[in-house]
Chain A
Amino acid sequence: MNLILLSAIWGIVMMFSGLFLNSKSAAKTVALVGAVALLIGNIFDLSGKMIINSDFKGMLQYERFGLLFLTVLILALIIYILLSGKDVEAVGKHPFEYFALIFFVMSGAGLVALFNNLLILFIGIEIVSIPLYILTGADKRNLKGNEAALKYFLMGSFSTGILLMGIAFLYGAAGSFQVERLAMITSEDFTAFTTIGIVMVMVALAFKVSAAPFHFWTPDVYDGAPTVFTSFMATIVKAAIFIGFLNLFINAFAGKSDSWKLTVAIITALTLFIGNITAVYQQSVKRMLAYSSIAQAGFMLFAVFAVNDLSKQGLLLYAAAYCFATIGIFAVLVKMKDYTFEGFNGLAKKQPLVAFVLTVCFLSLAGIPLTAGFFAKYFVLAAAVKTGTYLWLVIFAVVMAAVSVYYYFRVIQAMYFKEGETQELELATPFKALLVLVAAVIIVLGVYPSLLLDMLIFF
């Protein structure tokens, strides 16, 4: 509860401090203070000390998994602000508002992670989405950004409608919005209503996490939005929706997996296929990352597909590995002028340290051992193997993982093995130090994933 409250309040604080603080560069500092406050609040959440200690008649539930997941997201947010805060300020005239919107998103993420009632899920997802429409169009003079924002808004509203419709069907079937009531629907009362409801909710959530075939907005929006916000949307936001997705399916629909398993399997396969294959053909690293984020969503869908104890561990680790690596890559990408693969040519000579960190990040995204990405993939795939069915899907996924090596390694090849005039990069020492820290975290989690996973059980 602390997190939800604090981030909402801090969002308002950010907006007002924009009025009173004249210096633009103060925005980052205020935001950083807020993010650290969120972290502290969240740690109190984890130990059960809350400002308002109520579950609002069972509409929220403070599950360890959800809270820990939020910790990971807040850590990612802190890294994001530290690495890219300056670039957020550079987007336009209203840096305080941008940060305020980011904090509102975090508030929504809190609701999505802790919901125990479909209405809370719906409100959470809306609170996450609406600030994103604005952030996408934050660079007002950029036509592409405007187009992306409009597209995102139209498509997003449409999917929201479907979500609401699905919730209505489920309400009809269960007579309640409460998750535990949904879980109680027995096979006898299982009607077409329930199936339609489940499928509609699934479609809407698939849209939000950019799973195929509902992914068409993703490349345009990620490409059109200011790059700093793409980084935010592709990582923290995506992970936040995923936890809602997983929690809903584990807590409400796990007992009825026959009715939706095949559909999720098909969505997963399509997402992996389209994301990976299309990413291969991209010329711009930014667009490649957009498609790669679709592909990575495909792997995260395995957690939803499997709905067992390994899913939770898998998604937690996946979110950490994916967010840290992607934020690191985007932080460097924002500083570059040339977003094509050629833009990275010879980077290793000029910036050996940065090139090394990027390599670690890309290796992690590709799922090479000794990086967090390996264990992330390991857990989600293990979760699926554990169900003992649909092994073809797992085999298909690993083949697609091999395809992903192709486009991730193109960047590594450009940096290390190709000669070229790299653009001059002005990188401050603290920035580099932080990047090294990100790489270190990725490697440490790649050797001892238990450091994070143990927290699911102990604290």
Chain B
Amino acid sequence: MIALLMILVPLIGGLVAFFLKEEKQAKTWSLLVSLISLAAITYSLVSNNEEGRTFTAEWLPQLGASFALKMDGASTLLCLLGALSYPVIFASTWKSTYSSPNIFYGLMLLAQAGILGVFLAADGLLFYFFWELALIPVYFLCSKWGGEKRIAVTFKFFIYTFIGSLLMLVGLLYMYFQTADASFAMESLYAVKLSGDQQTWLFWLFFIAFAIKMPVFPFHTWQPDAYEQSPTAVTMVLSALMVKMGLFAVVRWLLPLFPDAAVEFDNVVIGLSVIGMVYASIIAMQQDDLKRLIAYSSIAHIGLMSAALFVNNESGLQGAIIQFFSHGVNVLGMWIVVELIERKFGTRKMSELGGLAQKAPALTILLVIVALANVALPLTNAFIGEFLMFNGLFKFNAWYAAVGGLSIILSAIYTLRMIQKVFYGNENALTANNTDISFIEKAALAVIVVAIFVMGVYPSPVFNLTKDTASFILGIFK
């Protein structure tokens, strides 16, 4: 039941939100709906109730497609991330105003339903459905409420991902005709035996779709522009949740479906990912715009995760899955800070800011914690994931770990430089009359900080949760 609720609650909540014309109503309703989702999944995790983790209903029996949902470790973790991030997003952007708020909040919730659907779907066609559906609300959100160049940028993003997903559809269709019982069910697709050639080209059809979404170098060009131009609430959804769709799809679909091809092309994928890590880190150092800086830093982090997924050892895989969650939390924290800064000062340029620490101590402390987590300092959540991933990468091939390790150093450079430029230094005319952040914003950031520390100090619940996914994948390769 919980699996179904994770989709149903935001879906119905989103449809209702369309009819709440008052801004206050729409906001409160959306926050409420997102809290209900959070409460539901928390309850299910605490009560450790395994029953509702799968759900199957008849959908299109002639096609062999059913409405099948399945929560394994990784997808539970990502559902938790999805449920946790939405209240935080709504709270931290509480003071932002949007034209036609009912539609904005409605689309936000629909996007959540689509994304969580991707994390849950255990049927090939259903997965494809949600994969596309998550995109449509986000397309409208970015194009309607985004920055100056929003239309062209969002369009590029849309077409890019659409091409990818159509290629995946062709691959999926081909797989479907290979199944013994003409079914899209995950188990039937897993059971298909493919020859080496078939695996090769099907692997690439799927991989390109996922690589565009993550994004992996060289498919990343849509991402910095899209992050920059979207309203920050949407950017949070994009970078905390949507990119995880691609990574998660690798775990649930790509690796189990085409294990031989994954081993055959591991060097290509890891090579691209490592290039992307270093390349994005170098570009991040050149950025003046906070949003672009975080966008590139995000590409670097994603690169590490996608590399770790292909190293074919427990350490890398486990680290990557844990990092799904940590990266989501951390990047969310970064975006919240950007949102607060932009709303207060009307600029995101580091060169125009400075000296915020004196007037806004709370914001500064919270940001520094988030930023240090972004650099993966010990005791923060990202440390565990990154350590495991580098360990896995090192076991695979020390050279990759060495080159990829550069990105850690680079990330420390640009993150600390950002803190220095924005929060320290002299005040200027723009930042002189600054005040600290309000309670609700503090609360949103506090949730993030608590998550960072709890997971950094006591990660074993997350390990236990995701163990089954990791051991399942490794079992396939043995």
Residues of A in contact with B (beta carbons under 8 Å apart): 363, 368-370, 374, 378, 381-382, 385-386, 388, 391, 394-395, 398-399, 401-402, 405-406, 409, 413, 416-418, 448-450, 453-454
Q: Which residue of B lies closest to A382 (CB)?
A: B173
CB of B173 within 8 A of CB of A381, answer yes
Contact with A along B147-184 (1 / 0, CB 8 A): 00011000100110011001101100110110000000
Q: How far is A453 from B167 in the complex, measured between Cα atoms in Å?
A: 25
Shortest Cβ gap from A392 to chain B (Å): 10
Instruction: Check if B394 is an interface residue, CB within 8 A of chain A.
Output: no
Chain B residues in 8 Å Cβ range of A417: 143-144, 150-151
A-B contact pairs, 5 of them (CB 8 A): A382-B176, A388-B177, A406-B155, A413-B143, A417-B143
- Are A402 and B163 in contact, with the CB atoms below 8 A? yes
Report the minimum CB–CB distance from A338 to chain B (whole Å): 20
Return the CB mask of B199-241 against A: 1 if under 8 Å, else 0. Answer: 0000001000000000000000000000000000000000000
Which residues of B from 231 to 272 have beta carbons under 8 Å from A? Answer: none
Cβ contact of A416, chosen from B144, B166, B173, B205, cutoff 8 A = B144
A contact residues around B159 at 8 Å (CB): 402, 405-406
Known contacts A391-B170, A450-B62: does B143 contact A368 (CB below 8 Å)?
Answer: no
- Nearest 5 A/B pairs, CB to CB: A398-B166, A402-B163, A385-B173, A369-B132, A369-B129
CB distance from A448 to the nearest CB of B (A): 8
Chain A residues within an 8 Å CB radius of B128: 369
The residues of A that contact B140 with a CB separation of less than 8 Å are: 416
Point out the residue from A370, A401, A416 that lies within 8 Å of B129, measured CB to CB.
A370
Dominant secondary structure at the A interface? helix
- On chain B, the residues within 8 Å of A368 by CB distance are 132, 136
B16 CB–A CB distance under 8 Å = no
B170–A416 touching, CB < 8 Å: no
Report chain B residues within 8 Å CB of A370.
129, 133
| B166, A386: Cβ atoms closer than 8 Å | no
Residue of A at shortest CB range from B131?
A: A369
Complex Cα distance, B205 from A252, in Å, reads 36
- Nearest A residue to B166, CB-CB: A398
Task: Give the chain B neighbours of A381 by CB distance below 8 A.
Answer: 169-170, 173
Are B166 and A391 touching (Cβ within 8 A)?
Answer: no
- Decide: A416 near B62, CB < 8 A? Known: A385-B173, A395-B170: no
Task: Determine the chain A residues whose CB is within 8 A of the CB of B169 once the complex forms.
Answer: 378, 381, 398
> In the complex, what distance in Å separates the CA atom of A381 from the CA atom of B176?
12
A216 to B62 CA separation, bound complex (whole angstroms): 40
Whether B60 is near chain A, meaning CB under 8 Å from some CB there, is yes
CA distance A398 to B132 in the complex (A): 14
Q: With A368-B132, A402-B162 in contact, is A409–B144 under 8 Å at CB? A: no
> Given A381-B169, A385-B174, A454-B62, list of 5 further CB < 8 A pairs?
A369-B129, A378-B169, A395-B167, A399-B163, A416-B143
CA distance A391 to B151 in the complex (A): 34
A348's nearest neighbour on chain B, judged by CB, is B144
Smallest beta-carbon distance A112→chain B, Å = 27
Residues of A close to B155: CB separation below 8 A: 406, 409, 413
Q: Chain B interface (Cβ within 8 Å of chain A)?
A: 60-62, 128-129, 132-133, 136, 140, 143-144, 150-151, 155, 158-159, 162-163, 166-167, 169-170, 173-174, 176-177, 205
Chain A min CB distance to B181 (Å): 15
Docked CA distance A391–B61 (Å): 26
Q: Chain B nearest CB: distance from A347 CB in Å?
A: 14
Closest chain-A Cβ to B145's Cβ sits at a distance in Å of: 10
Give Cα distance in the complex from A459 to B129, angstroms.
Answer: 29
**A385 and B132 form a contact (CB under 8 A):** no
Please name all residues of chain B whose beta carbon is closer than 8 Å to the beta carbon of A374 when the two chains form the complex. Answer: 132
Given contacts A368-B132, A413-B143, contact A402 B166 (CB under 8 A): yes
Bound: A391/B140 CA distance, A? 33
Q: In the complex, are the beta carbons of A449 and B60 less than 8 A apart? A: yes
**Pairwise interchain contact A369-B177, C-beta atoms closer than 8 A:** no
Of chain A, the residue at the smallest CB distance from B136 is: A368
Chain B, residue nearest A395 (CB): B170
Contacts of A382 on B, CB cut-off 8 Å? 173, 176-177
Q: Which residue of B lies closest to A402 (CB)?
A: B163
CB within 8 A of A398: which of B129, B170, B174, B177?
Answer: B170
Please indicate the chain B residues that have their CB under 8 angstroms from the CB of A449 in the complex. Answer: 60
With CB as the reference atom, state the residue of chain B lying closest to A447.
B59
Which among A378, A413, A417 has the greatest number of chain B C-beta atoms within 10 A? A417
By a CB distance below 8 angstroms, the chain B residues around A401 are 166
* Contact A453 to B62, CB < 8 A, known contacts A369-B129, A402-B162, A409-B158: yes
A385 surroundings in chain B (CB, below 8 A)? 170, 173-174, 177
Quick check: A405 and B174 within 8 Å, CB to CB? no
Which of A369, A399, A409, A449 counts the most B-chain CB atoms under 10 A from its CB?
A: A369
Q: Which A residues touch B166, using CB under 8 A?
A: 398-399, 401-402
Q: With a CB–CB cut-off of 8 A, which chain B residues contact A388? A: 177
Taking CB atoms, residues of chain B closer than 8 Å to A369 are: 128-129, 132-133
In the bound complex, what is the Cα–Cα distance between A413 and B136 (angstroms)?
A: 13
The chain B residue sitting closest to A414, CB to CB, is B151
A63 to B348, CA, bound (A): 67
- A454 surroundings in chain B (CB, below 8 A): 62
Q: Which residues of A are found within 8 Å of B174, using beta-carbon distances?
A: 385, 391
Q: Which B residues touch A405, using CB under 8 A?
A: 158-159, 162
Chain A residues with CB below 8 A from B136, complex form: 363, 368
A391 CA / B178 CA spacing, docked (Å): 14
Name the residue of chain A whose CB is nearest to the CB of B61: A450
Measured in the bound complex, the distance between the Cα atoms of B61 and A453 in whole Å is: 12
Q: How far is the CB of A360 from chain B (nearest CB, A)?
A: 11
Q: Smallest Cβ distance from B125 to chain A, in angstroms?
A: 8
What is the CA–CA distance of A385 and B62 in the complex, to the nearest angstrom? Answer: 17
Task: Across the interface, name the chain A residue whose C-beta is closest to B135.
Answer: A368
Are A450 and B143 within 8 A (Cβ)?
Answer: no
- CA distance in complex: A413, B140 (Å): 9
Q: How far is the CB of A64 from chain B (nearest CB, A)?
A: 16
State the CA gap A381–B125 with chains docked (Å): 14
From B60, B151, B170, A394 is in contact (CB under 8 Å) with B170
What's the least CB distance linking A372 to chain B, in Å?
14
CA distance A445 to B129 in the complex (A): 14
Quote the shortest CB–CB distance from A223 to chain B (angstroms).
26
User: Which residue in chain B gives the minimum CB-CB distance to A449?
Assistant: B60
B166 CB, nearest partner CB in chain A, Å: 4
CB distance from B137 to the nearest CB of A (A): 11
Q: Which residues of A contact B167 (CB under 8 A)?
A: 395, 398
* Alpha-carbon distance between A418 and B152 when the two chains are bound, in angstroms: 12
Residue of A with least CB distance to B167: A398
Give A398 to B163 CA distance when docked, in angstroms: 7
Q: How far is the CA of A371 from the CA of B155 in the complex (A)?
A: 20
Kindly report which residue of chain B lies nearest to residue A416, judged by CB atoms.
B144
Taking a contact as CB atoms under 8 Å apart, the answer to whether B163 and A413 are in contact is no
The answer to whether A450 and B60 touch across the interface, beta carbons within 8 angstroms, is: yes
A450 to B64, CA, bound (A): 12
Q: Give chain B nearest CB distance to A292 CB in angstroms.
A: 16
Which of the listed residues A374, A388, A398 has the most CB atoms from chain B within 10 Å of its own CB?
A: A398
Complex Cα spacing A368 to B134, Å: 11
Complex CA gap A405/B144 in Å reads 18
- Nearest B residue to A383, CB-CB: B173
Q: Say how far A273's CB is from chain B's closest CB, in angstroms.
A: 16
Q: Which residues of B contact A418 (CB under 8 A)?
A: 151
Residues in A with CB closer than 8 Å to B173 are 378, 381-382, 385, 394
Nearest neighbor of B205 in chain A, beta-carbon distance = A395
* List of A residues within 8 angstroms of B129 by Cβ: 369-370
**Who on chain A is nearest to B155 by CB?**
A409
Chain B proximity of A378: nearest CB distance (Å): 8
